[in-house]
Amino acid sequence: MTAPATISPFATATSMLEALRAREISATELLELHLERIDRYNPRLNAIVIPNTEAARARAKAFDSGAIAGALAGLPLTIKDCIVVGGLRSTAGLAEMAENVCPADGAVAERVLGAGGVLIGKTNVPPNAGDWQSNNPVFGRTLNPWDHDRSPGGSTGGGGAAVAAGLTPLEFGSDIGGSIRVPAAFNGIYGHRPSDSVVPRSGHNPGAPLPMPGGIMGVQGPLARSPHDLELALDVIAGPEPDEPFWRLELPKARHETLASFRVAIMPPIDFAPVDAEILAAQERVVAALRTAGATVTTTAPQAASEMHGYHELYLSLLYTVLFGTLTDEQRAGAVAEFQDSGDIFGGASVRGTQATAGDFQGMLVQRAQWRAKYAAFFREYDILLAPTAIIPAFPHTDAPFQDRRLDVNGEQVRYNRMVVYPGLATLVGHGATAFPAGLSRAGLPLGLQAIGPYCEDRTPLRFAQLLEREIGGFTPPPGYGA
């Protein structure tokens, strides 16, 4: 048996699984390698906040004795606090839910564990999974391994930091406002937001513990150090809700197997969401690599410039209808007053979502369907829509009130909530999107982009990211976290 030190903690999940199956390392040794790193680095990072150590050791031992099998068998991994795991807490970062223990696995956790995954623990989130930081009154703040003074993103920020720091090779998170993709960008890793309906929405807190057919936009998906690992993970969790056994999902093959065959659209600038110049420079380097590889590259989008404002308004209105639908009248009035006092050009859209009636919601769904039709037409001509993931690299931690926060983008003070604009390109219409690293800034911070693909053709942006990794490189470990 090879000593565990021969496997890098930054190896891909796929290579770790290959080593396990070849008996080059035992699951117990691989787990202990990660637990040693967690003991060393997690007290400072505060990424994994709900440990599952003894259960993980028992499960690793079961793999070594031949008692468990599956696509993830023997692999240490983590799951976001919000995703329901039986017997473990799910706090959603809320003090009032600090001791909330889930009685049974949700659909995603059930599939991950059913595939033999060894759950190390659960990772940190912001309150109600509602921020691009991961700081809450239950567990405190998660730090970014690239710069401890900066955010690791949110809401799957603990998971993003843990993957980048080599504490886990695979994380399962969730995304409605960039909560997988932004942590991927801020930590220099990969993340995939699945298309709506590809992965069950149930078993998520906040959200519905049971399947809810009317749910929209919020999805659960993986983060990893390799785009190949993303596809491995997606194959494990994809499929219908557990109470819908009468249909099955067969994701189409990727449209192309070479970059030269891809038709790539580059998202034009959005006037109300300026993007950091270094992110745009990274995007230009990717475009140059694509053209060198023979891809067809065009600057265009499903939305005309004159339509982008309305598109984002619809997204915000639907977002707040979904997120604030269970508020009390008093809470809703407080949120409305905050939006009205913000002076934001999108304050009215947020108010409409917060106050939406059933009829309003139905009307928004009709508008959403119209945009989905436009996207379907667009993706008959193009394979990928390439865009930034966030408007800025990882920003400094802040405790300022949400509406008062500003980000320095190229010397301009930009409202914090503009962080949601680029994630919303895929979220509103429910398309899959793969976030990938695209180099480092002059300050040594990761720069990230996203490849948005056709609806339910998730293998296409995943394959695009896999092929692009060969051209531009992929994950690199953050300084100070060993090899």
- Active-site positions? 80, 155, 179
DSSP 410: T
Q: Which residues contact 449 (CB under 8 A, 6 or more apart)?
A: 185, 279, 282, 283, 286, 386, 387, 388, 389, 435, 436, 438
Intra-chain end-to-end CA distance of the chain, in Å: 21
Are the C-beta atoms of 449 and 384 separated by less than 8 Å? no
Per DSSP, what are the bridge partners of residue 451? 386, 434
Give the integer Cα–Cα distance in Å for 250 and 433: 18
Please name which of 328, 335, 368, 372 lies closest in space to residue 351, comparing C-alpha atoms: 335
- Helix (H) / strand (E) element for 298: namely strand 296-299
Secondary structure class of 140 (helix, strand, coil):
strand
Helix (H, G, I), strand (E, B) or coil at 409: strand
Amino acid at 164: A
Q: Which residues contact 107 (CB under 8 A, 6 or more apart)?
A: 200, 202, 203, 211, 237, 241, 242
Q: How are strands ordered across the β-sheet holding 48-51?
A: 48-51, 118-123, 76-80, 170-175, 219-224, 190-193, 433-440, 446-452, 384-388, 263-266, 296-299
Give the side-chain half-sphere CA count within 13 A for 366: 6
Instruction: Assign residue 124 a region (left: φ > 0; alpha: ψ between -120 and 50; beta: otherwise).
Output: beta
Asked if omega into 206 is within 30° of 0 (cis), the reply is yes
How many angstroms separate the Cα of 407 from the Cα of each of 17, 107, 397? 41, 37, 11
Query: CB atoms < 10 A from the CB of 447, how many?
Result: 27
Kind of pairing between the strands at 296-299 and 384-388? unpaired
Coil, strand, or helix at residue 483?
Answer: coil
Q: For the chain, percent helix, then strand, then coil, each to nearest 5?
A: 40, 15, 45
Sign of CA dihedral 11, 16, 470, 296: negative
